[in-house]
Homo-oligomer: A and B are copies of this chain.
Amino acid sequence: MRTLYHIPLSPYSRKVRLALAEKRIPFELRIERFWERRPDFLAMNPACTVPVLQEENGFTIADSYAICEYLDEAYPDMPLFGRTLGERAEVRRLIAWFDHKFHAEVTRNLLYEKQLKRLLGRGNPDAAAMRAGYQNMKMHMEYIGDLAENRAWLAGSQISLADFAAAAQLSSLDYIGDVKWELSEPARDWYARMKSRPCFRGLLADRISGLAPPDHYSDPDF
């Protein structure tokens, strides 16, 4: 069986899970405690990060960017990057926005400080980083709201990996109760539409031992 090595709260793993599910490509999940640096996992991905996708024939792809581009080339039904050069440039600009800018300014300051740091044995949350994360979330929710108000989906008229990249970051934060949905009604409406898609079911069913999500986490009408 095709296997995705992941951890449940990794936004990059979530992006790939959504892309696989949207394309109806069957896969099974395997939790990889990448901080333990398992030798067989290091051989698959010297960067020792999740996600890593292993196809049934053993072919392995590391890094969520490489995996998502691979999925669209290997399984072109239900294209997730747009069709024209202009659409594709806009989808990828927004993927970079959410994977890197949103992650550095919001996700990292909250999810890493509150959860991952403990797992990795790197000490206590940094209060200044957390304040910055909440502060930066405001601009980002407004930007998502602006896009959602002016377009059918974040990158244009079709759903794309830009939507899944954004939803992946937000769903990780939503699990720990850290998304201020009241900051933007259009962003909240767009996320409600994302949550009600079949591809989202796996994420909404996630439960991490010892860390329960807030009640609204799995409710599409939140």
Q: Which residues of A contact B (CB under 8 A)?
A: 45-47, 59, 61-63, 65-67, 69-70, 73-74, 85-86, 88-89, 92-93, 95-97, 100-101, 143
CB distance from A36 to the nearest CB of B (A): 19
CB distance from A198 to the nearest CB of B (A): 27
Contact A46 B85 (CB under 8 A): no
Given contacts A73-B85, A86-B59, is CB(A66)–CB(B96) below 8 Å? yes
CB distance from A203 to the nearest CB of B (A): 23
Please give, as numbers and ranges, the residues of chain B lying within 8 Å of A59 by CB-CB distance: 85-86, 89
Which 8 pairs from chain A and chain B are nearest by CB?
A66-B92, A63-B96, A61-B89, A66-B93, A63-B93, A62-B93, A66-B89, A65-B96
Query: With the chains together, A67 CA to B89 CA distance in Å?
Result: 7
Given contacts A93-B62, A93-B63, is CB(A74)–CB(B85) below 8 Å? yes
Q: Taking CB as reference atom, which chain B residue is nearest A49?
A: B101
Contact A70 B88 (CB under 8 A): yes
Question: What are 29 contact pairs spanning A and B, CB under 8 A?
Answer: A45-B93, A46-B143, A47-B93, A47-B96, A47-B101, A59-B86, A61-B89, A61-B93, A62-B89, A63-B92, A63-B93, A63-B96, A65-B65, A65-B92, A65-B96, A66-B88, A66-B89, A66-B93, A66-B96, A67-B89, A69-B69, A69-B92, A70-B85, A70-B88, A70-B92, A73-B85, A73-B88, A74-B85, A100-B100
Please give, as numbers and ranges, the residues of chain B lying within 8 Å of A143 by CB-CB distance: 46
Please give, as numbers and ranges, the residues of chain B lying within 8 Å of A63 by CB-CB distance: 92-93, 96-97
In addition to A66-B93, A73-B85, A73-B88, 9 A-B residue pairs with Cβ atoms within 8 Å of each other are: A45-B93, A46-B143, A47-B101, A65-B92, A65-B95, A66-B89, A69-B69, A69-B92, A100-B100
